[in-house]
Amino acid sequence: MVDALQTHEMPMGNLREVQFWFHQGAEHVPGLLYLPIEHADPMPFVLIQHPGMGSKEDYFVAEVARAWARRGWICGGLDAPLHGERASADPMSLFRNPDRYPEIRAQFAAEVSTMLDLLSERFPIDMSRVGFVGYSMGSMLGIPAVARDGRFKAAAFCLVGEGGLAGAVDGPDADIPLLQGVATRVVGKLQDQLIPRERTEALYNALPGKKDIRWLPGGHFEIGPDVIKLAEEWLLAEL
């Protein structure tokens, strides 16, 4: 059962900052949104999803959302299950319990779809121009969420590979085949300590539809302007 969207808004220069939340089942789902105060038409929407141990207030979520909102997009992020302001916040517990991965994938995918339903009723979102950017765990959860929802036009999955929390790339439970209609960029790091290059390439090779892969120097935990720029370039071209 889903409660109505609740919001708290405040001006931030030429932007509106919107803290929002809703309940889905027993879960309290908190989110953060930025949009221009002045706009003429429905705007693209981009969900930016934080990595493990992070939250929607991370610099590379909130600050990037503000920057992109100033160009005329609606941007924001959710606290993933067990993260941020969730009632049951305990980030490490997710990685200690891989048996829960299918459950968490399904939970987050359902929450993203509910979020889109609720936000599109309240804000001027162009639902034909919906995008996603994820970093590490944000991409692992984002792949099934984007695939199962079916309304995303473009996505940049950064620092991710097949298997684990992202799921298998083939077989009856694979979400990758559902990305046929999503223009997808994969961003990998050449010295990634957590995700071997072959796993990133396996994910990329399994992607259907329009796709692109880029490699950057550095390790897994180096989420900097180079990663953000590649995600931004892709969304500018594809949304």
Which tens digit of pLDDT belongs to each residue from 5-33?
A: 999 999 999 999 999 999 999 999 999 99
- Contact by Cβ (8 Å): 181, 211: no
CA distance 88 to 82: 6
How does DSSP classify residue 134?
A: E
pLDDT band, very low/low/confident/very high, at 93 (cuts 50, 70, 90) = confident
Q: What is the mean pLDDT of residues 38-59?
A: 94
pLDDT of amino acid 180: 97
The answer to whether position 57 is within a domain reads yes
Query: What are the pLDDT digits (tens) for 169-201?
Result: 999 999 999 999 999 999 999 999 999 999 999
The answer to whether position 11 is within a domain reads yes
pTM of the model: 0.96
How does DSSP classify residue 99?
A: G
Query: What are the pLDDT digits (tens) for 104-132?
Result: 999 999 999 999 999 999 999 999 999 99
pLDDT of amino acid 1: 66
| Residue 92 predicted with pLDDT over 90 | no
Provide the percentage of residues in the chain whose pLDDT is more than 70: 99
The answer to whether position 228 is within a domain reads yes
Q: Whose structure tokens read 């370039």?
A: 233
The answer to whether position 145 is within a domain reads yes
Q: Return the half-sphere exposure (C-beta side, CA atoms, 13 A cut-off) of residue 155.
A: 33
Domain range enclosing 195 = 6-238
Number of domains in the chain: 1
pLDDT of amino acid 206: 98
The answer to whether position 166 is within a domain reads yes
Supply the mean pLDDT for the chain: 95
How does DSSP classify residue 71?
A: T
Q: Whose structure tokens read 């889109």?
A: 116
pLDDT of amino acid 199: 97
The answer to whether position 1 is within a domain reads no
The answer to whether position 47 is within a domain reads yes
Q: Which of 2-6, 155-159, 210-214 has the lowest mean pLDDT?
A: 2-6
The answer to whether position 78 is within a domain reads yes
CATH number of the domain where residue 188 is located: 3.40.50.1820
pLDDT of amino acid 90: 86
pLDDT of amino acid 175: 97
Listed in sequence order, the residues at least 6 apart from 142 whose beta carbon sits closer than 8 Å to its beta carbon are 47, 49, 132, 134, 155, 157
How many CB atoms are located within 10 Å of the residue 145 CB? 29
| Residue 87 predicted with pLDDT over 90 | no
